[in-house]
Chain A
Amino acid sequence: MEELVKQLKSGDQRAIGKVYEAYRKPFFDFAKRYNLDYGIIEDTYQDVILALVENAMKGKLDNLSSSLKTYVFAIGKYMIFQRLRKINSGPYLLAELPESLEWDDHEEHAELEQVKLLEKYLSSLGDRCREIINLSYYQQKSADDITQILNYPNKETLKSQKSRCLQHLKKMFQSHGKG
């Protein structure tokens, strides 16, 4: 299991696919009890896998106290309860994420203009800048880890490069404002 967590942590797509396949059927059997549509269950399950991967990347699964399946079901149940609460059906009680795990669907911010523009501008960045931004902000890795992952000679080189990437993004904003 430790090996699998390590692979998830590094974003290994084969490992993500393996976890997705491993728990899909039991998760569907479990979720059907709550009278949810097939499409909603599939969508929820995909979010569960995303949450699992993100938490692995942030090192939150480094000291697992339960099996990976238990975490999948606990996150899944949390997400199912959230959805049920939104459609306001059933006497569903408070659902909580397992201790130490995080998940924010960013629903409130996804429609902000700056967020939308940043998503667009990120796609036009060079590969190296995209990697740095991804590792720094999506995976929230430390500067030491990123220096090692991207083979920079030292942390200062990484910081300079990162600063240039951020400046580049800001310049795109300024051009947008002028345009």
Chain B
Amino acid sequence: MEKDKSDLLDLYIGNKLLEQDREAFENELKSNPELQEELNFRKNLLIAATLQERKRLKAILQEKAFENHAKEKNQWKLAASVAGILISLSIIFFIFNKKSDREALFLAYYETFPNIEAPTVRGDADFNGLSEAFLAYDNEEFELAKLLFYDHYQLHGDEVSAFYAAMSALEIGEFEESYDLLVTIQNSCQESYQVPVMWYISLIQIKQNNTDEAVKHLKELAQIDHPLSSKAEEIIQKLR
């Protein structure tokens, strides 16, 4: 293989040729089977070298994972004994405090809602001006996320922003604000958010000890074909 061809092949594989050089090279490939064969060989070599190096690095990371897992297991053992004591204390406490009972129920079922919109980093397409807000949400910077989503909602009135502003507010313990936003969009938001809106409204109502309203919403949820309906049914049973 001529040396200059060898360089061209590697530049081509690495996608480092300028457009016009690439086109000229591709034309040559069409009429030169030997060159095409060499290209295939080097492409496979790149894949083989990559897979081999990944296996080597992954073995190192797996060892780290194993160490972490062992550490976590020990921490769980310790945590389990502490938890045993705490659960006993909690049972006594909850018997005397119904409000805390609702709080515990809220905590047991509350989970951060995942961002189901496109992932973003700075510099990506603007995503309707929401990139920064989703970036903050994904990075768990919920104070900032709430402000950015809320501003967007104020300007554009879109329910997606209002929903994520409500989720961010929940994360930082601003339950009333979150509740008001969710109630505002309850009937107008897009279908994929309707069940989550109802779910989080019910959870906030449980936390605020507004059991009757919560049960009303949960009963509606329990009738819908959705992964959350079985959880709604569970909570209704517990509230009884």
Q: Which residues of A contact B (CB under 8 A)?
A: 13, 16-17, 20-21, 24, 26, 30, 33-34, 42, 46, 49-50, 53-54, 65-66, 69-71, 73-74, 77-78, 81, 91-96, 98-99, 106, 109-110, 112, 114-116, 118-119, 122-123, 133-134, 136-138, 140, 143, 159, 162-163, 166, 169-170
Q: Chain A's nearest CB lies how many Å from the CB of B131?
A: 10
Interface residues of B in 10-52 (CB under 8 A from A): 10, 13-14, 40-42, 44-52
Q: Are A46 and B118 in contact (CB under 8 A)?
A: no
Q: Are B122 and A65 in contact (CB under 8 A)?
A: yes
On chain B, the number of residues with a Cβ less than 8 Å from chain A's Cβ atoms is: 48
Q: Are B64 and A20 in contact (CB under 8 A)?
A: yes
Q: Are B44 and A115 in contact (CB under 8 A)?
A: yes
Contact with A along B112-152 (1 / 0, CB 8 A): 11111111111110000000000100111000000000000
- The reply to whether the CB of B81 lies closer than 8 angstroms to some CB of chain A is no
Q: Are B58 and A50 in contact (CB under 8 A)?
A: yes
Give the total number of A-B pairs whose CB atoms are below 8 A apart. Answer: 135
Instruction: Return the contact of B192 from the options A24, A70, A91, A143 (Cβ within 8 A).
Output: A91
**Closest residue on chain A to residue B54 by CB atoms:** A50
- The reply to whether the CB of B6 lies closer than 8 angstroms to some CB of chain A is yes
**Closest residue on chain B to residue A133 by CB atoms:** B49
* Secondary structure type dominating chain A contacts: helix
| Residues of A with C-beta under 8 A to B64 | 17, 20-21
- The reply to whether the CB of B65 lies closer than 8 angstroms to some CB of chain A is yes
Q: Are B44 and A65 in contact (CB under 8 A)?
A: no
- The reply to whether the CB of B3 lies closer than 8 angstroms to some CB of chain A is yes
The complex places the Cα of A49 from the Cα of B62 at a distance, in Å, of 12
Query: Given A50-B54, A91-B116, A95-B119 in contact, is the A112-B61 Cβ separation under 8 Å?
Result: no
**Closest residue on chain B to residue A140 by CB atoms:** B14
Query: Given A20-B61, A140-B14 in contact, is the A70-B122 Cβ separation under 8 Å?
Result: yes
- The reply to whether the CB of B111 lies closer than 8 angstroms to some CB of chain A is yes
Q: Chain A's nearest CB lies how many Å from the CB of B67?
A: 10
**Closest residue on chain A to residue B55 by CB atoms:** A119
Query: Given A33-B111, A50-B54, A137-B49 in contact, is the A96-B118 Cβ separation under 8 Å?
Result: yes
Query: Given A50-B57, A99-B124, A143-B7 in contact, is the A137-B50 Cβ separation under 8 Å?
Result: yes
